[in-house]
Structure 1
Amino acid sequence: MAKVKSDKTFFHGKSESTGVLLINLGTPQEPTKSSVRSFLKQFLSDGRVIEIPKLVWLPILYGFILPRRPEASARNYKKVWMDEGSPLMHYSLRQQKLLQKEMESRFSGPVHIELAMRYGDPDIQAGIDKLQEKGVRRVLILPLYPQYSATTTATSFDEIFKVFSARRWIPELRFVAQYHDHPSYINALAESVKDFWKTNKRSEVLLMSFHGLPKRNLELGDPYFCHCHKTGRLLAEKLDLKESEWKLTFQSRFGKAEWLKPYTDKTLSEMPAEGIKSVDVVCPGFPSDCIETLEEINMENRGYFMEAGGQDYQYIPALNDNPEHVKALADIVQQHTQGWPETESDWQASNAEKQSEISKKQAQKHGAKL
């Protein structure tokens, strides 16, 4: 049994609070071959991501993928790298900061927002450490994956359980498994598209591109495909789009197995021959712009469409730090933290301090040293 880690920051009478841990996928620290290799090694070693027996998969990973793919991927990261660093990290940190401010305006008690990455840094253990240092006794886990998948949401939950399996005092935990059909999320998506159309000419078709998965995952019961389609349908309804005015596709396929269809790249390549010369592309499943949106969609797939005879191709940015996105995340947090003391309207600092002092005195009375 692993050694149980004690909370060295604990003392009797310590003020309690609520915490929210935002989790995103992760990113290399730098757009370099070595940094990308380290990231891909961790990511592609996850059995939730690659459901192939280790004896079969690891020779492929170490013998073929890691020696070759990092160099090409690093070149693509360099194309989208910002002065602030990784786009995904930049926007995720912005979301954390803005959500913290929003929750402070909504709740009377202390609610702390921390950010963690499933792969790379800051990792989930670091995020939990920060929350516990702040006296958090109630934690909401909010993976930034609107559509649930075992490859994203579930592996984040796995890591949470792994970290707490070595903790002595586990806080009260709640989990947000998905928010693909949350009204505030759908509204944020719709408003972002409308705002884009206010300053840019609307194209003939709105293409919604979601990250792909092997078809086998769907057949084994992963609800991701269904969640994506519901998000797409609700967004189209919110925008009052006719059936002929939007399409839903899946991108980023990897390997030789069949993935969820239709494929984004093939669809874009076929559209000009069907008479569609202009397209707007949005990626509803990505809360932050990243290599999959900025390079794969806005650069690589733009090329497929234009080379096939397309005339106008526009990428609609991810929700990023859009105020409506922050509001949507805040609505989700508020919904899932109901009943916790710090989120109640009658919470008062003076009462909390009084209870902490009583707790401290009672502990000392019974011989506590802390």
Structure 2
Amino acid sequence: MSSNYTGLAGYAHDQSAKAGVLLVNLGTPDAPTAAKVRPYLAQFLSDPRIIELPRWLWNIILHGVILRIRPRRSAHAYARIWTEQGSPLRTGSEALLRALQAEISARRPGPVKVELAMRYGEPSVRRQIEKMQREGVRRLLVLPLYPQYSATSTGSVIDAVADTLKVLRWPPELRLINDYHDDPAHIEALAKSIEAFWAERGRGDKLLLSFHGIPERYLRAGDPYFCQCHATARLLRERLGLEAGQILTSFQSRVGRERWLHPYTDETVKQLAKDGVARLDVVSPGFAVDCLETLEEIAMQNREFFLEAGGTDLRYIPALNDSPDQVKAMADLVLRHTQGWPEFAPDYDAEAARARQLAAKARADAMHGRTG
């Protein structure tokens, strides 16, 4: 009778244990072409966490309509932001990974490995967890790069992690960060980023916080995303010392005819321009790293909407990316959620040396017993 469990090729039972931190972002196509965008969109839009419709009905819509039209349009949007290094989401996430690894290594001496996975596309969650396990990771912290929890984002990451662990012969000890929408260090990093932008370029007439949208019925079904977005907005307003009328919240990236979270970002920027707002500053606190939704949808599309409606300038304030403040806030978050794990202990080197000494003494005693 064959086993359904995945083994570890080349695994050695005396391998030293390590801890791991897995960052997970949404994902990106490999190139800004319809041929590369189509399989990425197919995987993304086939996730039942994203579209909560009967599968038979959604498959007809997805394969009969959407995947015939949308890949070409999305490829055009990706081409507008693509760089010589590739997708901004990929390069930005990789830069954050490197910075976080360096920060954690500087603050904790233990063997801690930080890796990056994409929920859709490559490197996949499964591929990275299996890789980390082969490298000796026995304790794993998963950090989805979504400050606010939604079933459509963090919930989907949890699904991917669970699907991987349930077929591993020896799954690692697991911890998962559900959200960090109200983490004080994260709020501080956002505020300092906005203040630095204003110090360099002056302050606009209004500040708009644009979060990614989800269908409104998900909120009614119990998804906390809407409430967490508004909690982030309130904390950020208080930290910046702004009056209620100086800061606004909206939701972008809606798809289809269903009602999504209100107010919509595109309608909001148009109305603000018509109301006489000349300079509008926009930040997207739901994105840890800049991507299609920030660089193309906000900084390009919505800027065009604002200017066409009579505004003078819409300035997009970049995501935190690999800024020192975001890296420090994430390192603090990781260290807080890994308390009790030996690899994250400040005195790991001393404890590891003591363990090696005890092991060496035990081997020596055993040898002496055989020869004495």
TM > 0.5: yes
In the superposition, the TM-score normalised over structure 2's length comes to 0.94
Aligned ranges for residues 32-71 of structure 1 at < 5 Å? 32-71=33-72
Question: Cα distance, 1:132 vs. partner?
Answer: 1.1
Q: Deviations over 1:316-362 (max 9, x none)?
A: 0111111101111101101100010011122126437628957x97x
CA contact (8 A) 1:15 1:352 kept: no
User: How many angstroms does 1:273 deviate by?
Assistant: 2.2
Give the equivalent residue in structure 2 for 1:18. Answer: 19
Distance between the aligned counterparts of 2:285 and 2:74, measured in 1? 23
- Residue 328 of structure 2 is aligned to residue 327 of structure 1: yes
Q: Work out the number of aligned pairs and report it.
A: 364
Structure 2 equivalent of residue 72 of structure 1: 73
- Following superposition, the deviation at residue 126 of structure 1 comes to 1.4
Verify the 8 A CA contact 2:21 2:140 in the aligned structure 1: yes
Deviations 1:293-317, CA, capped at 9 Å, x for gaps: 0110001100111111101211101
Relative to structure 2, which stretch is displaced further, 9-18 or 316-325?
Answer: 9-18
Deviation at 1:14, TM superposition (A): 1.1
Q: In structure 2, what is the Cα distance between the partners aligned to 1:2 and 1:253?
A: 44
The residue type equivalent to 1:295 in the other structure is: E
Q: Once the 2 structures are TM-superposed, how far is the Cα of residue 130 of structure 1 from its aligned partner?
A: 2.3
Give the match for residue 303 of structure 2: 302
Residue aligning to 1:211: 212
| Identity in percent | 49
Match of 2:353 in 1: 351
Q: What is the RMSD of the two structures over their aligned residues, measured on CA atoms?
A: 2.0
SS state at 1:206 partner: strand
User: 2:143 corresponds to which residue?
Assistant: 142
- Aligned counterparts, 1:221-300, within 5 A: 221-300=222-301
Would the aligned equivalents of 2:29 and 2:37 in 1 still touch at CA under 8 Å? yes
State the AA in 2 paired with 1:320.
N
- 1:358-369 alignment, distance < 5 Å: none
Q: CA deviation at 1:114?
A: 0.3
Q: 1:52 to 1:20 in 2, by over 3 A?
A: same
The DSSP-based 3-state class of the residue aligned with 2:143 is strand
**122 and 150 in structure 1: CA distance in 2 versus 1, 3 angstrom threshold:** same
8 Å CA contact retained: 1:2, 1:166:
no
> Which runs of no fewer than 5 residues in structure 2 stay unpaired?
368-372
Q: Higher relative contact order at CA 8 Å, sep ≥6: structure 1 or structure 2?
A: 1
1:137 is aligned with what amino acid?
R
Inter-partner Cα distance in structure 1 for 2:180 and 2:282: 21
Residue by residue over 1:136-193, the C-alpha shift from the partner in whole angstroms, topping out at 9 and shown as x without a partner, is 1100010000000000001101110101111010111001000000011101100110
Residue matched to 2:104: 103
Map of 1:162 onto structure 2: 163
Partners of 1:99 and 1:5 lie apart in 2 by 30
Q: Unaligned regions of 5+ residues in structure 1, if any?
A: 366-370
CA shift for structure 1 position 277: 1.5
2:370 equivalent in structure 1? none
Q: Deviations over 1:258-299 (max 9, x none)?
A: 000000000100012222111000000011111100110001
Distance between the aligned counterparts of 2:354 and 2:192, measured in 1?
40
Deviation per CA, 1:8-45: give whole Å up to 9, x if none: 24222211111000000000010010110010000000
CA distance in 1, matches of 2:142, 2:18: 15
